[in-house]
């Protein structure tokens, strides 16, 4: 009886180890979504990917008339949550930053904008992430 219990326990430990190894090798997409939903920001690996892409981007010299950082970040966040778009000063800052940025990567594929932008905005405001159709479009765009 004693050897039977040992063999059952040994088999159980091996099964748990094998299943935990399989779980450790899954793709990080679901983890990325969970991390963003829980903490409201990208995971460290996603931040590293964004930083690597930023390192590949060439920026022009800053002009004196450029719009500075917003002083009231709470209001900016509230405005974005309420209306689903940035505050007008934030939009101006983003537009200025885009006009002063030169990207090294040139894409030849033109992707059409989604037809139903209202649904995309509603889904992002409700669930805090892009809709499945928008995620597919973004994945195709990044290839």
Confidence (pLDDT) at 64: 57
Indicate the range of 16-25, 36-45, 107-116 predicted with least confidence.
107-116
Kindly tell me the burial class for residue 33, based on how many C-beta atoms sit within 10 Å of its own C-beta (0-12, 13-18, 19 or more): middle
Confidence (pLDDT) at 11: 92
Tokens of residue 142, six digits: 């990044």
Distances (CA, A) of 61 to 44, 52, 57, 75, 100: 29, 20, 13, 29, 8
Q: What is the DSSP letter of 117?
A: H
Checking if the pLDDT of 140 tops 70, the result is yes
Residue by residue, DSSP assigns 19-67 as HHHHHHTS-SHHHHHHHHHHHSS--HHHHHHHHHHHHT-EEPPPPTT--
Domains of the chain by residue range = 27-57, 61-102, 107-143
Phi and psi torsions of 130, nearest 5°: -65, 155
């Amino acid at each position: 009886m004693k050897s039977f219990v040992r063999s059952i326990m040994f088999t159980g430990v091996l099964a748990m180890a094998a299943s935990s190894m399989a779980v450790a090798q899954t793709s990080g997409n679901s983890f990325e979504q969970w991390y963003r939903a829980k903490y409201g920001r990208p995971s460290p690996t996603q931040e590293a990917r964004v930083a690597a892409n930023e390192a590949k981007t060439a920026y022009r010299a800053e002009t004196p008339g450029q719009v500075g950082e917003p002083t009231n970040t709470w209001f900016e966040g509230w405005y974005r949550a309420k209306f689903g778009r940035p505050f007008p000063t934030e939009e101006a800052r983003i537009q200025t930053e885009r006009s002063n940025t030169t990207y090294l990567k040139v894409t030849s594929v033109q992707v059409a904008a989604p037809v139903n932008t209202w649904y995309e905005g509603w889904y992002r405001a409700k669930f805090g992430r892009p809709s499945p159709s928008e995620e597919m479009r973004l994945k195709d765009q990044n290839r």
